[in-house]
Chain A
Amino acid sequence: MSDHSENLPAFCHPASPKLLYAVFFALIFLTLLTVAVSALGPPMGMPRAFAFPIAMIFATMKAFLVCAFFMHMWWDKGFNILAFLSSLLFVSLFIGMTLMDTSHYQDTIEAFDVQQLTGVEIAE
């Protein structure tokens, strides 16, 4: 994948331009596809609600391409990749636990809203 010639030091891996261009066009293609799905609706009679998951899948494919080739992760040290991916793990942990909690107490918030509507003053 990388044209690694003899006189370059071990840590230097120039990526081939062909590969970079190919990745770029793939990215553009996926972007256009995403916009098309959003504008025209999901293909093959899938329900409208699928548009969002489809968009996210395309985004993740794009993210993979950028990471792997533009960011040279494909050739990078395992430890660097691990560090990077671990950040995603911790963000999802954060989202997951918080979402689990907040979704459980939404009715309390709704109740607060109703209380507001019925005119009970809430001190500032």
Chain B
Amino acid sequence: MAVADTHEIHDDHHHDHGEFIAHHFDGPEQQFDSGKLGIWLFLVTEILFFGGLFVAYTLYRSNHPEIFEQAHVFLNKYLGGLNTIVLLFSSLTMALGVRAAQLGKNKNCAVYVLITMVCAAVFLGVKAVEYSHKWDMGILVRSAFNLTYTHPAPVTSVGKWLHVSDYLVYISVIPTLLLVGFLVASLMGKLMEKNVFSKFMLGLSIMVGGYFLGVGVGLIFMDVAEGGANESHASIQTADQPLMLHAMTQETREDASHDENHDKTAESHPAADHVDGQAHHEEHAHAGGEAFSAHHPDPEKLSRNVGIFFSIYYCMTGLHAIHIIGGIVVLSWILWRSLLGQWRSDYFGPVDYVGLYWHLVDLIWIYLFPLLYLID
């Protein structure tokens, strides 16, 4: 982090006044003010960084409203809502953690920071469920977007056993390894009587546990949600009709006037790259295509539009997820220092700064949620 403390971290709990004051500062206040302004400016750069994606979003939404109308079928607002609440809760615990640090209550601070980290991991777990489900349906970025994708049965043994997507299994490999690694490290620490280290590693294991909690809750939400919601799933798949086409037909039947406004837009797409796109397009190019779009939007056009939406969706949520992971890393550092008992009311800057970063990540999600999940 930004604050320059040139001093080593000590294991003992005695601190002289000014131990953490870097030599080039006059005192704790100047150091704190510098760090605080520094972190605010960092947040400014973050906002402009995300800003680029918000620009892309706004332009495509206002210039191509049809993109968004057609995309909402594939979104699960309940998973998004769940994650919103998880992040809001983590913001609360983070704020409480900062307060604990300000009062020099290092133990409380550690607990609150750990809860924040667990929430972050839960968030990622839910995200993993969401992403893997989309990949199963062939919902990818624009060029790989595949309208005619048929849902594969899981092939991995874990996938078969738990009836979950193979992609979810692949994503979960890293957290599983981390969990094992952290637990082993914690145990080793215990044996070697490195208490703080052992506790820290235990904390990290609990954090990774949060990921699996998130996956579990996410799967449950998904099952519950799909009954009433427009999300389609293997269980309602008819014969060998591709999932997405199925979802679209359902939608079109519900809302016959749906694609009226698309007829006036010229339909196109060159250089289609998905499996049977080219042949399909040539067959249906004019007469066929129009007849088809009487009940159903032109698949070419649909995969272009929805494809671009999901490009933006993946860019925004992906960049946000990277920030969540970054957040976990810096929060771990705070957890470690809390376990060492380093916070005092004249030295709590790092907790405050990391807290501000964490709230910003929450803040961005507060906007991403309505922008990406609540469109119809």
Interface of A toward B, CB cutoff 8 Å? 7-15, 17, 20-21, 23-24, 27-28, 31, 34-35, 38-39, 51-52, 55-56, 58-59, 62-63, 66-67, 69-72, 76-77, 79-80, 83-84, 86-88, 90-91, 94-95, 98-99, 102-103, 106, 110, 113-114, 116-117, 122, 124
User: Which residues of chain A are near B99, meaning CB under 8 Å?
Assistant: 14-15, 17, 20
Contact among B28, B78, B375 with A52 in the assembled complex (CB-CB below 8 Å): B375
Shortest CB-to-CB span from B122 to chain A, Å, is: 16
Instruction: Kindly state the separation between the CA atoms of A8 and B52 in the bound complex, as whole angstroms.
Output: 41
The answer to whether A34 and B374 touch across the interface, beta carbons within 8 angstroms, is yes
Q: Which of the segments B151-159, B192-200, B231-239, B356-364 contacts the partner chain?
A: B356-364
The answer to whether B267 and A80 touch across the interface, beta carbons within 8 angstroms, is no
The answer to whether A99 and B88 touch across the interface, beta carbons within 8 angstroms, is no
The answer to whether A80 and B40 touch across the interface, beta carbons within 8 angstroms, is yes
The answer to whether A110 and B265 touch across the interface, beta carbons within 8 angstroms, is yes
Q: Decide yes or no whether B191 CB sits under 8 A from chain A.
A: no
The answer to whether A88 and B62 touch across the interface, beta carbons within 8 angstroms, is no
The answer to whether A38 and B85 touch across the interface, beta carbons within 8 angstroms, is no
20 contacts between A and B (CB under 8 A): A9-B28, A9-B345, A11-B29, A14-B103, A20-B92, A21-B92, A24-B91, A35-B374, A55-B370, A69-B95, A71-B355, A84-B43, A84-B44, A87-B44, A98-B55, A102-B59, A110-B266, A113-B266, A113-B267, A114-B268
Question: Nearest residue in A to B285 (C-beta to C-beta)?
Answer: A117
Sorting the interface of chain B by its residue count into under 10, 10 to 19, 20 to 34 or 35 or more gives: 35 or more
Shortest CB-to-CB span from B195 to chain A, Å, is: 28
Instruction: Kindly state the separation between the CA atoms of A94 and B53 in the bound complex, as whole angstroms.
Output: 11
Instruction: Kindly state the separation between the CA atoms of A95 and B367 in the bound complex, as whole angstroms.
Output: 16
The answer to whether B59 and A83 touch across the interface, beta carbons within 8 angstroms, is no
The answer to whether B44 and A12 touch across the interface, beta carbons within 8 angstroms, is no
Question: Nearest residue in B to A56 (C-beta to C-beta)?
Answer: B370
User: Which residues of chain A are near B47, meaning CB under 8 Å?
Assistant: 84, 87-88, 91
Q: Decide yes or no whether B366 CB sits under 8 A from chain A.
A: yes
Instruction: Kindly state the separation between the CA atoms of A83 and B117 in the bound complex, as whole angstroms.
Output: 28
User: Which residues of chain B are near A87, meaning CB under 8 Å?
Assistant: 43-44, 47-48, 51
User: Which residues of chain B are near A39, meaning CB under 8 Å?
Assistant: 77
User: Which residues of chain B are near A17, meaning CB under 8 Å?
Assistant: 96, 99
The answer to whether A59 and B366 touch across the interface, beta carbons within 8 angstroms, is yes
Shortest CB-to-CB span from B29 to chain A, Å, is: 5
The answer to whether A84 and B40 touch across the interface, beta carbons within 8 angstroms, is yes
User: Which residues of chain B are near A51, meaning CB under 8 Å?
Assistant: 374, 376
In the complex, per-residue mask of B27-38: 1 if CB is within 8 Å of any chain A CB, else 0: 011001100110
Q: Decide yes or no whether B182 CB sits under 8 A from chain A.
A: no
User: Which residues of chain A are near B63, meaning CB under 8 Å?
Assistant: 102-103, 106
The answer to whether B96 and A83 touch across the interface, beta carbons within 8 angstroms, is no
Tell which of A13, A38, A88, A114 has the most Cβ of chain B within 10 Å.
Answer: A38
User: Which residues of chain B are near A67, meaning CB under 8 Å?
Assistant: 359, 363
The answer to whether B96 and A20 touch across the interface, beta carbons within 8 angstroms, is yes
Instruction: Kindly state the separation between the CA atoms of A110 and B43 in the bound complex, as whole angstroms.
Output: 38
The answer to whether B58 and A52 touch across the interface, beta carbons within 8 angstroms, is no
Shortest CB-to-CB span from A32 to chain B, Å, is: 8
The answer to whether A70 and B91 touch across the interface, beta carbons within 8 angstroms, is yes
User: Which residues of chain B are near A77, meaning CB under 8 Å?
Assistant: 33, 36-37
Question: Nearest residue in B to A32 (C-beta to C-beta)?
Answer: B81
Q: Decide yes or no whether B369 CB sits under 8 A from chain A.
A: yes
Contact among B265, B345, B362 with A66 in the assembled complex (CB-CB below 8 Å): B362
The answer to whether B43 and A12 touch across the interface, beta carbons within 8 angstroms, is no
Q: Decide yes or no whether B23 CB sits under 8 A from chain A.
A: no
Instruction: Kindly state the separation between the CA atoms of A114 and B346 in the bound complex, as whole angstroms.
Output: 67
Instruction: Kindly state the separation between the CA atoms of A91 and B363 in the bound complex, as whole angstroms.
Output: 15
The answer to whether A95 and B369 touch across the interface, beta carbons within 8 angstroms, is no
The answer to whether B92 and A59 touch across the interface, beta carbons within 8 angstroms, is no
The answer to whether A99 and B37 touch across the interface, beta carbons within 8 angstroms, is no
Tell which of A10, A77, A95 has the most Cβ of chain B within 10 Å.
Answer: A95
User: Which residues of chain B are near A102, meaning CB under 8 Å?
Assistant: 59, 63
